[in-house]
Structure 1
């Protein structure tokens, strides 16, 4: 006995008006189908099969990192047909299969867990997810017999009395695998669309005397995304949910409505986030971090007591008690140590910066290994690229780089060495030495007057 999942992700999504597969549009920084896959996994369902069709190459590319298998629906002949296309995945399995849609990213782990519990304890062959809404127009109604589901009635087929029913089908199900496979063989497409509907399986099971149950959840959880308007609505709901979660766990959001936090972001207690910050991907913030307005942090680890102001940090790590910004740019594969100052208009690319180092302003450091307690003067440039190759620069502990120094890689400034302001350093500077690499100043007296007299000024 096991739990399995099928994710329906074969639809074309014409109403999105996009070259991107509908299920790959992102909500809070993650593809909708990956939201659903991740919720299945969090709910304890490890064996997940994604049913692909339109744009299948795109969907496979974006989901393959989640270790799922695939079934292919070449023709779009309805939800029942889609599940039939996964017959090879289901055959030989014993247990429960969850069938969810890849364009409904708002489903929550607790709801799936409740469905699984209710399904098992009730001895049901099928369990539906439903919602109760005030205006159910257009939705299939749930007709019950006691606690069990008698049938699903499409809106167009409802009698006046049935139109008054407010419990509607969400299109998400649990089935006993063996009973599902048996019922799928009995599906017919004798309808106007000539399609095979998964909802007909419920009627087939009821006709066999099998028990069908239902779990009611909030309508917001069951929302499918079919248009860009729906996408924005789902984004707003999930963003509010994410922000509420963090605030309830000890994070201060000064203005939640203007704070954008991705679904997989982790934030420590007593962190304070000011307006217009964007946290994406697998970003992890430690405790007591302060993010002043207007920063973007992506797939990065920010340690305790860090301060960031109006800066961009991409795929990097920042150590404890470091300050970044304003207007700093930390590019991928950078590791910034503890108690470092990365000041205004500083750019760091693929470099390691040791503890206590100060890079206060107007400096570029690329492909460098920088030690501890180094001081970079204003306007320093690590010249790492010769037009063809990138080279490494090493600046050892306690070095002092004078203002407007160019370090032409490959080069090493050894421990405790200084460079004179305005130097272009092309050779290693020995430990404890002063490197001076600038032309001797020459003053040409009377030069300006002569230029004026020549008519060139």
Structure 2
């Protein structure tokens, strides 16, 4: 027998309490102290929004109508009611009496009117039934629910005469000091007689400190008998106003849930570390071990063992199954199944009877047949596995081809040896076998053996060569102040932390450098871009290079993610400097033995150096990103004729057409005319450039492309200089997104949802590793 963990939320209707009962749930409070964007009544307690707990308690009365007073400014409350009652808006939050007054004349019955709050999830339906019964027996105009609390702070107090007769309710903010010492409080739950309630409501005034219309004042205005009913359990009246009270309600509700489960035959070995939601079902004689969480609409059968350290979310576990130290989400497990320890079943997983899932196994959207075993260290995604199949350790389904998920089918009684990789889509027939270390890339017929391991090779002298490589100078990674975050990422990729170095500033702005550790004889890689502020970062680069040279570093490689002054690589008019050549000379003179640069503005700049230059490109990053966009009708666009080669390379990798924009510049950073050359109408335009400076060119390009009928425009560039108001111009232009790399750090004030950042840290780290090991860098781009 399965029992429901919910405390009375699904009771049968009773004809005894029917008879024109109206329930009004007040759920329009602002909930300011919750400090949340979520409406207060939608915060969950034991997996269920507070409002739904109140509605569940109201169902015990089998009301003729249920009305929920809501705040129209709070999204989601009406949807949460989901037809269990009719919502009416309280547009201005002027108090609880004003909220009740929003009930229209059509719904103002003369019979019993029960008023409860939407933020009191611990109120039981049985308590409401007793309140209504006492109200009917007494013939009172109103019956209040009261509670005696050790700590009554925050509640209205019940004032009585010396003989104990009810006299009045006083709100705490209006109470005198002596009145605040009273421990009997108003629970905020009322049973009114409609014929007395509605006329009294018309007389309600807001003459109090808060200038609000108190529902408690209606009690005073009603001309008739006032009755009170004391709640047996004071925790039922706990109202939720802040996160601490929410946590306390969660604790109390979960204790109720666990108590009910234990009464119904479920063993909870440590209730203090077990968390079970309200809508969970657990079968008798099941055992729940410590540090287990069962949430959502999960169902656990009889005679199961769950935990320790297990999480079930919206999952079903059949009778007699054991789940240990595992994570299940939207998974279905049949009877007599074992899972774990340290395994994960993701959504869509279905395990048939008697399946065994062992240690460190992950299964996603797969069906495993009866009696099959996946003992350990395996991944099955989008697979259909037959009955009595053995999956050896280290086996995986390669289900994702970069565009879509593909299925692997394994027939009954197949024997899958260790380290088998299934390149989906693929099918293995019944009674087939795979040899260890096999890559299955085509269908295996029933009863066959698949062997795909490569031939073993013996490399003579390998150990001596490997040991010789270990004698290389130590690799040291240092970084200036231009891009510390990129330096950190490169260090993580290399497994080599950034060596400590202190850069200080004298009072007059001059730099001083202190390298903490010895670099004598070391292979040093100095990361220092020359982004904004360009001149300061250049000076810092020169000084650090000089310090490394004088510290007897074995070799110094300047890693320059962004090379400043690169746009002045030639004379465009009389008396122009060639600043890019000057920078190259100074870098060499300062002490660099080698340079690693990324997407120089002009390839010719490599020739300005008299030392080796490894010119990297972010082209692969850009190509991969465009491919993942999966645009249905894309065209790659160069913003000018000079970038045609760059765009041509990208388009060739993607097999896409190209276009370019002709522009004329009367002076630097100013564009006067732009024309599109190539077909872009009805296409998704992807503009590729090496850098974005002021953004003026790209704004003009996007407008020109749109004018020619482009469906969408995206901009991808390696270097996000983004000078001046570039970000403002770009985000206001007809551009869907701007994609740059972290070769230049993006300040917080320039970050925007339209701007996405790709990291070049893995690329730079691999280049550094190859230079250090004297391996080819050009192979990175093959």
Normalised to the residue count of structure 1, the TM-score between the two structures is 0.89
Whether 1:323 and 2:338 are equivalent positions in the alignment is yes
C-alpha separation in 1, matches of 2:367 and 2:21: 46
C-alpha separation in 2, matches of 1:301 and 1:123: 50
1:219-258 correspondence runs (5 A):
219-258=234-273
Change (3 A) 1:107 1:437: same
C-alpha separation in 1, matches of 2:446 and 2:24: 64
Deviation at 1:444, TM superposition (A): 3.7
C-alpha separation in 2, matches of 1:452 and 1:238: 64
Please point out which of 414, 420, 432 is paired with 1:405.
420
Deviation at 1:28, TM superposition (A): 2.1
Change (3 A) 1:25 1:386: same
Per-residue displacement from partner, 1:87-141 (whole Å, max 9, x unpaired)?
26724x4643332112211111221221232233333443221112356565321
SS in 2 for 1:2: coil
Contact 1:144 1:151 in 2 (8 A): no
Whether 1:198 and 2:212 are equivalent positions in the alignment is no
Contact 1:341 1:357 in 2 (8 A): yes
Contact 1:107 1:222 in 2 (8 A): yes
The corresponding residue for 2:488 is: none
The corresponding residue for 1:186 is: 203
Deviation at 1:212, TM superposition (A): 3.2
Paired residues, number: 451
Contact 1:183 1:204 in 2 (8 A): yes
1:310-349 correspondence runs (5 A):
310-349=325-364
C-alpha separation in 2, matches of 1:324 and 1:372: 17
The corresponding residue for 1:106 is: 122
SS in 2 for 1:202: helix
Deviation at 1:2, TM superposition (A): 3.0
Change (3 A) 1:346 1:191: same
Per-residue displacement from partner, 1:365-411 (whole Å, max 9, x unpaired)?
11222221111111111122112211222222212222111122222
The corresponding residue for 1:96 is: 112
Moved more, 417-426 or 254-263: 417-426
1:388-427 correspondence runs (5 A):
388-427=403-442
Contact 2:384 2:409 in 1 (8 A): yes
Q: How large is the RMSD of aligned CA atoms in angstroms?
A: 2.8
Change (3 A) 1:378 1:125: same
Moved more, 37-46 or 166-175: 37-46
C-alpha separation in 2, matches of 1:148 and 1:90: 32
The corresponding residue for 2:324 is: 309
C-alpha separation in 2, matches of 1:220 and 1:132: 10
Deviation at 1:213, TM superposition (A): 2.5
Please point out which of 132, 153, 177 is paired with 1:116.
132
Change (3 A) 1:146 1:434: farther
Per-residue displacement from partner, 1:420-446 (whole Å, max 9, x unpaired)?
22222222222222223333x042452
1:445-456 correspondence runs (5 A):
445-446=459-460, 448=462, 451=465
The corresponding residue for 1:11 is: 29
Deviation at 1:46, TM superposition (A): 7.3
Unaligned runs of 5+ in 2: 1-18, 472-782
* Larger Rg, first or second structure (1 or 2): 2
Name the structure, 1 or 2, with higher relative contact order (CA <8 Å, separation 6+).
1
Per-residue displacement from partner, 1:24-78 (whole Å, max 9, x unpaired)?
22222222222222222355347433222275214334x1446443221121100
Unaligned runs of 5+ in 1: none
Contact 1:142 1:169 in 2 (8 A): no
